[in-house]
Amino acid sequence: MQAPISIIVDDREPPSVIEALQSLQGCQVATQRLLLGDYLVDDRLLFERKTLPDFVASVLDGRLFRQAAGLAASRFHSIIILEGAIKDIASSGISREALQGALISATVIFGIPLLRSLDPAETARLMLYTARQVRSVPNGALPRGGKRPKSKRKVQLQILQGLPGIGPTRAQSLLERYGSVANVMQADSQMLVETPGIGQETAERIRWAVNQPAVAYDLSDEISPTLPALL
């Protein structure tokens, strides 16, 4: 008989997920403060749980990119669970391009797998199922993500190059001027055009991709064909 799967939950997580985990057989749940991620499962899997509204907020304020960089550098196998339904962000006003860019950064650039769940109960089951499946893989054979940037600066430059019209040279100019990805995301178009190599058109395209549009719309009508499985 296999030993129970240990799950350490960050003490800031909502009771709904903790209660769902405690109701499942085959796992032992403990609560403590985690410096990174929300759930450490079987001392090898580090889950970052985000509801769709929180995911949108973290994209807009730049928090997602900082978290993704930390998860990618972790000694654990990091995974993001995106929880909720598209209706949860239908009135958020975020553009589909901003969502696509965030998903590309997390999964392709940082190499972090992304799983989907509908609610806290499914999130709990998904973490347990993942741990059980990973246990079936021979020790040392669990694949890591793709090649990841080794320095914080390289991570920041790769994120910035995901913005429209931004290549390596412009990314360096932005980083040198603003010092961080978060500061670039918060800069308005007038500030951006003061950066060498950034014209008005490029600045407006960056703001269009990152910022909330003036009028909110129903994302379910405009979502890209590549997103339904994720959102």
pLDDT digits (tens, 9 = 90+) for 9-34: 999 998 999 999 999 999 999 999 99
User: E strands, 162-207, where?
Assistant: none
Of the candidates 82, 77, 15, the one whose C-alpha atom is nearest the C-alpha of residue 40 is 77
pLDDT over 90 (residue 160)? no
C-alpha–C-alpha distance, residues 28 and 5, integer Å? 6
List phi, psi (to 5°) of 182: -60, -40
Q: Would you say 192 and 207 are in contact if contact means Cβ atoms under 8 Å apart?
A: yes
pLDDT digits (tens, 9 = 90+) for 73-132: 888 999 999 999 888 888 887 777 788 888 888 888 788 999 999 999 999 999 999 999
Overall pTM surpassing 0.75 (yes/no): no
Question: For residue 50, what is the enclosing H or E element?
Answer: strand 45-51
145: confidence class by pLDDT, cuts 50, 70, 90: very low
pLDDT digits (tens, 9 = 90+) for 197-218: 899 988 888 887 665 443 333 3
Largest CA distance in the chain: 64
Pairing of strands 39-41, 5-10: antiparallel
- Domains in the chain, please, with CATH? 5-135 (3.40.50.10130), 152-210 (1.10.150.20)
Q: Tell me which amino acid residue 20 is.
A: A
pLDDT digits (tens, 9 = 90+) for 26-67: 999 999 999 999 999 999 999 999 999 999 888 887 788 888
pLDDT over 80 (residue 221)? no
